[in-house]
Amino acid sequence: MNVLRCPFKSRQASLSCSCLNLTLRICRCLSVSEAATALRPFYFTVHPDLFGQHPKERSINEDSLKKLHQYIFALRKQENVPPTNLTFFAKNDADRDQGLSHIKVHLASPSIRDTVTTVLTSCQLPLDYINTISEVPTSSKTKVHHGPDFRDIFAGRKGGEAFYRKVEKLNLLSWIKTNSKISRKKSQESRDYSKDVKEITGRLKEMVGVRAIGWHTNWGPRRFTACLTSLEKVSENHPIVVKKFLFGRNVVFTDRNGVSLSGEVCLNHTDVPQVWLMRLTSVPAYDAVIERLPYMEQELSRLLCHIKIRRRERHHIVMAEEYEVLLNKILNTMRRNQDLVRRMFRSGDLSRLEMVVEGSSAPLTLTNLGQYLIPVSMPGSMIVDFIAKTQQQAEERLKDAISLKMIEDEVIQQCQDKLGLIHLEKDLNISPAQMTQCCERLMDNADEITTYMEGVRVRVTQYYSVTDDGLVCIPWNWEND
């Protein structure tokens, strides 16, 4: 049994008030994302997923990890945190299936760095990463590198500068000062339209029995209202036909017609209502496709040693018939490579891994979240070889993603509360690490930006923009000077 007590508390009594303030400033320079990276080996040692055959120990580790995250976040918020005792179980390297080590950790330090060091030392894990992080706090005014400026390439060529517009570099504070009023004005207009949307949707539910109506385009709420009004008129003129094909279904206005992968009836917002009415007659034919998809995914999972098949969220809606074609292609590919699968995966179990079936133009890759993106155009031998070579890396990323998601959710909530935001979200292409870094920097600059961001909705993405419904988009690596 390893019992460690942080020595910081015994030293602290001898420090003067000024020294204590200096210590706190230095200690807190370790960010939450850096702490998560430093604790990564620890997560792999005590992660609850490793204790499937030990439900009691699994529950204890789960509860202790939550308390550890809460302790670190409280330090990040510069709150006074009472000493905390944590208990973890870890599998012994000598006998990972039988022996369990009982680890106790006593946390009493106001320093994130010392807290992380204490936790790592308790499991006799290396401190290599945390020792590379400077103890001198970096300025919150540090610029984020955005890549090379290609104007430098043409600096020596006559007329080279003419290829580029001279664009003033944006920083968050000046941009939000200019656009906060625009956002609030558009949000108010959007709320006015939202009342109409709610009323029309309610009438359609009563008239034709539709379950829900959504909107999945870049157009604003005015266009959504117009589409709903058109659908209502069609329903009034042809109530029997519309009710027959939309009763109990979800409807989404998008840029395509058909039925989505999740069973939603898609209506193209650019079409006239008569086209919608004609398209609705083909909706029942897709029911059989929707029913077949889970069985096809199960078969693909079986052919690849029970790997989990996931459907990841995308910017665009995937149609059911298109996904069926993709599944058919990769099923035929894997059926022709079963001998190679059995030879490469002798254990016969890849149930800990996850894969997503992608179109022909997608790359064969392993995402930061540990999921395999498999294009159907790739030869089966290359797919099997790639999974075999990166299997261990994928398992580590999947475990890491769970911890990063917990940290990300906590940081988002803290940032939303501190800035007074109505809602805070991120784009699909923003990683948990990028989102965490962005939120931490927003909180560090809260005194300057809260006045302009309070009461708005924010999406973290790659660019600056204000959408038609008042949503404020900011890049995750925004500049602040």
What does 213-258 look like in DSSP terms, one character per residue? EEE-SSS-HHHHHHHHHHHHHHHHHSHHHHHHHHTT-EEEEESS-E
Q: How many residues does the chain have?
A: 481
SS (H, E, C) the chain: CEEEECCHHHHHCCCCHHHHHHHHHHHCCCCHHHHHHHCHHHHHHHCHHHHCCCHHHHHHHHHHHHHHHHHHHHHHCCCCCCCEEEEEEEECCCCCCCCEEEEEEEECCCCHHHHHHHHHHHCCCCCHHHHCCCCCCCCCCCCCCCCCCHHHCCCCCCCHHHHCCCCCCCCHHHHHHHHHHHHHHHHHHHHHHHHHHHHHHHHHHHHHCCCEEEECCCCCHHHHHHHHHHHHHHHHHCHHHHHHHHCCCEEEEECCCEEECCCCEEEECCCCHHHHHHHHCCHHHHHHHHHHHHHHHHHHHHHCCCCEEECCCCCCCCEHHHHHHHHHHHHHHHHCCHHHHHHHCCCCCCCCCEEEEECCCCCCEECCCCEEEEECCCCHHHHHHHHHHHHHHHHHHHHHHHHHHHHHHHHHHHHHHHHCCCEEEECCCCCHHHHHHHHHHHHHCHHHHHHHHCCCEEEEECCCEECCCCCEEEECCCCCC
pLDDT for 135 equals: 66
Q: State the burial class of residue 270 (Cβ atoms within 10 Å of its Cβ: 0-12, 13-18, 19+).
A: middle
pLDDT for 169 equals: 65
Give the span between the Cα atoms of 69 and 405, in whole angstroms.
12
Q: Which pLDDT tens digits describe the chain residue by residue (481 residues)?
A: 344 434 333 333 333 333 333 333 333 457 777 787 788 788 878 878 777 778 888 888 888 888 888 888 778 777 777 888 888 888 765 444 456 788 888 888 888 888 888 888 888 888 777 777 776 554 444 444 444 444 444 444 444 444 444 445 678 989 999 899 999 988 888 888 888 889 999 999 999 999 999 988 878 788 889 999 999 999 999 999 999 999 999 999 998 899 999 899 999 998 888 899 998 999 999 999 999 999 999 999 999 999 999 998 777 788 999 999 999 999 999 999 999 999 999 877 899 999 999 988 888 999 888 899 999 999 999 999 999 999 999 988 888 888 888 888 889 999 999 999 999 999 988 888 889 999 999 998 998 999 999 999 999 999 999 988 889 999 999 987 6
pLDDT for 233 equals: 93
pLDDT for 19 equals: 38
Give the residue from 31, 32, 41, 75 showing the smallest Cα distance to 409: 32
Give the span between the Cα atoms of 459 and 317, in whole angstroms.
20
pLDDT for 99 equals: 67
- Report the 10 Å Cβ neighbour count for 423: 10
Phi, psi (degrees; rounded to nearest 5) at 24: -65, -40
pLDDT for 75 equals: 80
